[in-house]
Amino acid sequence: MVKAVAIITVSDSCFKDNSKDTSGPALLKFIEQHFPEANIHTIIVPDEKEIIERELKYFCDSHIDLVLTTGGTGLSPRDVTPEATKAVLHKEVPAIAVAMTIASLKKTPMAMLSRAVAGIRDRTLIINFPGSKKAVTECIEVVKPILGHGISLITNNLANVRIVHDKLQSDHTCSHMRNTNVDISKVALRPRQSPFPMLEMVEAFNIVDAVMMQWVERTETVSIEDSAGCVVAQDIIAREPMPPFPASVKDGYACLSLDGVGKRRVQAVVAAGDTPLSPLTRGQCARVNTGAPLPLGADCVVQVEDTKLIQASADNQTELEVEILVAPKPHQDVRPIGFDIPLGSLLVEKGDVIDAAKIGILAGAGYQEITVVEHPKVGIMSTGNELQEPSDSFLRPSHIRDSNRIMIKSLLKEHGFESIDCGIARDHPGELSHALENALAVCDVLVCTGGVSMGERDLLKPVLIKDFNATVHFGRVRMKPGKPSTFATCKYEGRTKFIFALPGNPVSAYVCCLLLVVRALRQCTRYSGEWARLGVKLARDITLDPRPEYARAQLSFPDIQDLPVATLLGNQCSSRLLSACGANVLLELPGATPECPMLPAGSVVPALLTGRIDLPRL
């Protein structure tokens, strides 16, 4: 999807008189017609290489998807657009210019004199066009078919890339489908009961923990600025003491403690960052600020409040003599070398999670980069014939916009994990198999939503088993929401891939992602997968479901001395995502029994802390 376009007209004459520009408006009209939702920027510059380079870099740094230039591609001395473009490109795409030349040669042999260039800088596609309106109109038709797909490739929009690939490779029933061993032709013979046993949640958790230990830990080096939330891969030792010199704890006077009370000559002034030039001797002191180094000979600091001025310079800008009123003790108000961090001490231990305080310690110790456990590459894929992209302007009949991918992507990001969008897979064995193959090629952990229940088009489990020889570690869990949640592994290109197939209902996907996927990803970094639990009181009566339920709730603190109170957030139906908005806990409600069909208000239940807690004001 093209979101932003820049059009640069390069012409001395048009720069002086904008009304002479006809090729720029022709490009503008084309973009408005074919990419009506794109933000468009237009500019006219003279034929100056440095100016052209500057504008190209500006638009690329501004995350523009597509930059089109017109003019300056000929043979005259002032025609320097190709040179300026080549100077900023990271990759050339010569076939674009070749295609335009071939098409133009069919119109005129003069096309041989055009030197257009095309290529990529960062995530921006840049294409040079000739300077005449006629040539621009002809050439833009040549590149029109590849613009959207090219930008999808550059921006790593796998969903759009896959759609285009599928359209180009074949019709809807053949070559874009992977060979599949799943036969859906005999609908009447489909299973009426799930072949997968129903596991208790504790069993599912234990399986996830055990299987994810197969993840082969990899490490990477990151800057400390980007390390928050990362798990340290090796012990980090202090390479220097902190402080590296005896430092004053207070504003006052560095003294010799054996001098006791009495008058002192102020021998020097030492501020933080200064280096004392002379040692102190008996009867001398040095005025020091907090954090300043002590002169040699000094072993204590007397705070300003325990002194009296005896003599100052005529202009009162310099203290010459002070009186120490309280006898100091050795080492008083002095931080000795290594007081905060001794040389060789353990700053951060392997397995620690980096937070703001640890970043501060590492920065103070001179570390700019550290080795951390690399996070697995996570792919997110939705399945369903009824789904369309949330960015589509118009909702097609009988369709819904896919909210699961962006929701799960955001949820994982909240917990420190980035992810790759693997698009929407259709409910056909061949297409689903093809989509899974593409996704497994780019990720270590794949999170799918939809296609795991008992419908005739719920194909994820059979496709995984029959086409990828996957091991399904569990296919049903005794929980609400999320009973058909599935966890599987398979070998792909010699590496173990971990697949979570979650229900398609948004709340089920949300809850199961929190409980299972986030837990698994934390296990990959050897960071405890367990959620923090706390006891909470129910605000209202709750009728229990036969299955143990994870109910979305929000905490309040009516009495700071008492347990927090949990209030359910709206209808807990698995399709109503509103019940997750504002939730900061999942209540672990037991399954109903004849003896206990409901829990009255005030009952204490365990809750998993999943969101930010805002404490009341005291």
Look up the CATH number of the domain holding residue 561: 2.40.340.10
Domain identity same for 20 and 146: yes
Number of compact structural domains in the chain: 5
Q: Which pLDDT band holds residue 573 (cuts at 50, 70, 90)? A: low
Report the alpha-carbon distance of residue 462 to residue 279 in Å, rounded. Answer: 82
**Helical H segments across 352-459, by residue range:** 356-364, 404-414, 429-440
Domain identity same for 456 and 581: no
Residues present in the chain in total = 618
Q: Give me the pLDDT at residue 579, please.
A: 54
Domain identity same for 369 and 383: no
Domain identity same for 520 and 546: no
> What would the mean pLDDT of 565-578 be, rounded to a whole number?
67
Domain identity same for 17 and 165: yes
CB 423 within 8 A of CB 435: yes
> What would the mean pLDDT of 46-61 be, rounded to a whole number?
94
Nearest-Å Rg of the Cα atoms of the chain is 34
Domain identity same for 30 and 130: yes
Average pLDDT in the chain: 89
Report the alpha-carbon distance of residue 452 to residue 33 in Å, rounded. Answer: 41
Predicted confidence (pLDDT) per residue in 308-360, tens digit: 999 999 999 999 999 999 999 999 999 999 999 999 999 999 989 899 999 99
> What would the mean pLDDT of 562-574 be, rounded to a whole number?
77
Domain boundary among 335, 355, 389: 335
**151-154: long-range contacts at Cβ-Cβ below 8 A with a sequence spacing of 24 or more?**
151/1, 151/2, 151/65, 151/66, 151/125, 152/1, 154/65, 154/120, 154/123, 154/124, 154/125
In sequence order, what are the beta bridge partners of 8?
A: 43, 69
Domain identity same for 362 and 386: no
Per the structure, the complete domain to which residue 303 belongs is given by 247-335
Within a domain: residue 196? no
Q: Which pLDDT band holds residue 258 (cuts at 50, 70, 90)? A: very high
Within a domain: residue 233? yes
- Conformation bin of residue 37: beta by default, left when phi > 0, alpha when psi is -120 to 50: alpha
Look up the CATH number of the domain holding residue 468: 3.40.980.10
Q: Which pLDDT band holds residue 611 (cuts at 50, 70, 90)? A: confident
Within a domain: residue 511? yes
Q: In Å, how far are 125, 550, 556 from 563, measured between CA atoms? A: 57, 19, 9
CB 484 within 8 A of CB 490: no
Predicted confidence (pLDDT) per residue in 529-545, tens digit: 567 889 999 999 999 99
Nearest to 491 by CA among 467, 520, 461: 467
Predicted confidence (pLDDT) per residue in 67-102, tens digit: 999 999 999 999 999 999 999 999 999 999 999 999
- Say what the alpha-carbon torsion angle 425, 426, 428, 434 is, to the nearest 10 degrees: -30
CB 287 within 8 A of CB 269: yes
Domain identity same for 356 and 306: no
Q: Which pLDDT band holds residue 610 (cuts at 50, 70, 90)? A: confident
Look up the CATH number of the domain holding residue 369: 3.90.105.10
Within a domain: residue 187? no
**277-281: long-range contacts at Cβ-Cβ below 8 A with a sequence spacing of 24 or more?**
280/254, 280/255, 280/256, 281/256
Collapsed DSSP state (helix, strand, coil) of residue 441: coil
Within a domain: residue 614? no
Nearest to 111 by CA among 101, 119, 120, 121: 101
Within a domain: residue 219? no
Domain identity same for 29 and 151: yes
Within a domain: residue 618? no
Domain boundary among 278, 312, 335: 335
Domain identity same for 465 and 388: yes
SS (H, E, C) 455-498: CCCCCHHHHHHHHHCCEEEECEECCECCCCCEEEEEEECCEEEE
In sequence order, the 6+-apart residues with CB closer than 8 A to the CB of 35 are 2, 5, 148
Predicted confidence (pLDDT) per residue in 101-120, tens digit: 998 888 888 889 999 999 99
Domain boundary among 320, 352, 373: 373
Look up the CATH number of the domain holding residue 270: 2.170.190.11
Q: What is the largest CA-CA distance in the chain?
A: 107
Within a domain: residue 498? yes
Domain identity same for 365 and 324: no
> What would the mean pLDDT of 216-238 be, rounded to a whole number?
92
Domain identity same for 364 and 447: no
Q: Which residue has the tokens 């100056």?
A: 48
Report the alpha-carbon distance of residue 384 to residue 428 in Å, rounded. Answer: 9
Q: Give me the pLDDT at residue 313, please.
A: 95
SS (H, E, C) 228-286: CCCEECCCEECCCCECCCCEECCCEEEECHHHCCEEEEEEEEECCCCCCCCCCCCCEEE
